[in-house]
Amino acid sequence: MIPRLLVLPGTAIADSGAARLAGEATRLLAVTDVALTAASLADYPLPLFDAEPGVALPPAGRSPGLPENARLLAQRLALQDGLLIVAPAVHDGVAPLLANAVAWIAAAAREQPQPVHPFHRLVVGLASTSHAPDGGRAALAPLRAVLQALGAEVVTPQCAVCVAGAPFEASGRLADETYRRHLDDLAETLLDHARALGRQS
């Protein structure tokens, strides 16, 4: 089975470190036997999520209601076997834009007329970027916990890149051998698990 995999930077900033790392991950994955696509949160603008978990949202078209972009993201994730998220760390936590998108996707899954399971058994790999020396590693723990609570299978290897200085070559490749090794390990493990646990088979 050829797994379906989506690469998603946790930011809408096209030239950010997270977007560049997502581009490098996409390059690595593109030469494997995978049906690969990429998405940007810039293409799915969403309002601030402000609803109680488990409480039904108003019907579509009524404020605040369920945004169409939340429904589209949930449906798109439901078609994937795997997901690679590159999350920029904000104050050692999950970037608000990414956290907001995850909350809306989870809400959209509950509100669909037909069952949609964007996170259940979805194999997820995590990478992060930060100006801090740890590359935002601390921000991945709460993101991992949220995704696992939603039913995702989050792989153990991860890649955390400090974007201070010049971590990328002019070609877009990671300049540091350690970073490259971590990203290779993450990509390989994500693919192996997506093949083994593929939801579309």
- pTM (two decimals): 0.92
Roughly what angle, to the nearest 10 degrees, separates helices 137-149 and 96-111?
A: 10
Q: What is the CATH number of the domain that holds 19?
A: 3.40.50.360
> Residue 94 is part of which domain span?
4-197
Q: DSSP assignment, residue 42? A: G
Per the structure, the count of domains in the chain is 1
Which are the contacts of 99, defined by CB distance < 8 A and separation ≥ 6? 143, 146
In a structure prediction context, what are the per-residue pLDDT tens digits for the chain, which is 201 residues long?
A: 799 999 999 999 999 999 999 999 999 999 999 999 999 999 999 999 887 665 556 555 444 578 999 999 999 999 999 999 999 999 989 999 999 999 999 988 887 666 788 999 999 999 999 999 999 999 999 999 999 999 999 999 999 999 988 899 999 899 999 999 999 999 999 999 999 988 865
